[in-house]
Amino acid sequence: MTSTALTPSLIKRAPKVLLHEHLDGGLRPATVIELAREANFAGLPTSDPDELAAWFVVDAPGSDLVRYLEGFAYTTAVMQTRDRLERVAAESAVDLARDGVVYAEVRFAPELHVEGGLSLDEIVRAVLDGFAQGTKEAANEGHRIVVRTILSAMRQASMSETVARLAVNFRDDGVCGFDIAGPEDGFPPTKHLRAFHLIQREDFHLTIHAGEAFGLPSIWEAVQFCNAERLGHGVRIVDDIQEIDGRVVLGRLANYVRDRRIPLEVCPTSNVHTGVATSIATHPIDLLKRLRFRVTLNTDNRLMSGITLSEEFARCTEAFGWTLEDMEWLTLNAAKSTFYEFDQRLAMINTVIKPGYAALRSETQ
């Protein structure tokens, strides 16, 4: 089969699946400013949308995950009421749909939104209602999207078991899984075993932030102690891959992750901004792809990285020469790795994703 070169137009129109996106990392800059004004929050560095968008993007030399996370203090500050949570979620769904995303699992930490007096249940319900509203708005614009929610617990806090139970309670309303997020170093996933065991006993789904700022021990614990179905980032698995006498040799953990087809929720631009990689061109995603790991491409935080999923694909295409066939392979990886029910997952692949790519190929022949 002839490979089809990727153009910005093809990338934008191709069906895309997003597994790793934080709700509080994807606000529109203008919305942050407007909500800050409504909340009498005077801490923003600027009230100009373009300047604020540039301020949020942490791409200075020496940036790390801790610096990258600082911007969330501003976004969470304006997401403390039902109306604001609902608005942010609705806009997220619309923005993703306009970018060609047909399915997204967007995560957020309910415990970060209690300062306005909302209960955890009210917070989750507001976000779910917002996604439903945004999905309808996108459909009115001619865009098809399914948005589901992953509830994250902060790994440096002690609410993980509560949030895990919350996720289970809303599993029939649009919550599809559980996660822990926040700084990895010093906060291993095994500190939250009770939460993970609760999720497993309930036959529910979990993904764990691991192998981003911290290396192989974080991945090993997430996989072997916590039974993670997916790895949030997971890119540091490359530390267990060596080149010996011109051959690429996988260590035991890397082999295990590849053999088990454990999906990696890779976010290249974010990784550059947090210092995990020095550039897109030197990012290990292409190596992991060539080694046939279950690689998926994601945005992480569209606001903090100034990126869309289409732009993420475009940057990797420029760096690695990816084709439409590569993009389809990555998208199918993501679709197969969703926490969607099997029948619905299969229907999405066979009626939306594969026909979408076939139509794009036919245009170029």
Per-residue pLDDT tens for 110-128?
Answer: 999 999 999 999 999 999 9
The full DSSP string for 300-361 is B-HHHHT--HHHHHHHHHHHH--BHHHHHHHHHHHHHTSSS-HHHHHHHIIIIIHHHHHHHH
Residue 49 in contact with residue 30, Cβ under 8 Å? yes
User: pLDDT tens-digit profile of 315-365?
Assistant: 999 999 999 999 999 999 999 999 999 999 999 999 999 999 999 999 987
Which uninterrupted H or E stretch holds 65?
helix 65-68
pLDDT of residue 60: 60
Q: In this model, does residue 81 exceed pLDDT 70?
A: yes
pTM comes to 0.96
Contact 209, 177 (CB under 8 A): no
Mean of pLDDT values over 206-210:
97
Q: Is 362 among the domain residues?
A: no
Other beta carbons less than 10 A from residue 304's beta carbon? 27
Query: Is residue 267 predicted with pLDDT exceeding 90?
Result: yes
Rounded to an integer, what distance in angstroms lies between the CA atom of residue 339 and that of residue 337?
A: 7
Report yes or no: 254 and 243 within 8 Å, Cβ to Cβ: no
Task: Classify residue 115: in a domain, yes or no.
Answer: yes
Identified catalytic residue from 86, 91, 111, 212 = 212
- The reported pLDDT for the residue numbered 1 is 52
Whether the per-residue pLDDT at 61 is higher than 70: the answer is no
Q: Across-strand partners of 206? A: 178
Q: What's residue 43's pLDDT? A: 86
What pLDDT sits at residue 62?
A: 55
Statement: residue 213 has pLDDT above 90: no
Element (H, E) at 231: strand 230-233
pLDDT of residue 63: 63
Region class of 186: left (phi > 0), else alpha (psi between -120 and 50), else beta:
left
Under a CB-based contact definition with an 8 Å cutoff, are residues 275 and 62 in contact? Answer: yes
- Is 91 designated active site? no
Residue 364 domain flag: no
Question: Residue 64: pLDDT above 70?
Answer: no
The distance from CA 48 to its chain's CA centroid, rounded to whole angstroms, is: 27
pLDDT at res. 185: 82
101 domain residue, yes or no? yes
What average pLDDT score do residues 145-154 get?
Answer: 98
State the Rg of the chain over Cα: 19
Q: Are 298 and 345 in contact (CB under 8 A)?
A: no
Structure tokens at 232: 């949030």
Q: Which of 166, 171, 150, 155 is nearest to 106 (CA)?
A: 150
Q: Is residue 318 part of a domain?
A: yes
Contact 224, 188 (CB under 8 A): no
**Segment 44-71 mean pLDDT:** 80
- pLDDT for 74 equals 93
Q: Considering its fold, how many domains does the chain have in total?
A: 1
**Across the strands, what pairs with 244?**
247
Residue with tokens 């969470």: 76
- For the chain, the average pLDDT equals 95
CATH number of domain containing 172:
3.20.20.140
Of 156-170, 175-189, 302-316, which gets the smallest average pLDDT? 175-189
* Residue 273 structural domain: 8-357
Phi-psi region of 289 (alpha: psi -120 to 50; beta: other; left: phi over 0): alpha
Sequence-distant (6+) residues with CB within 8 A of 7 are none
Share of the chain above pLDDT 90, in %: 87
Identify whether 236 is part of a domain: yes
Residue 321 domain flag: yes
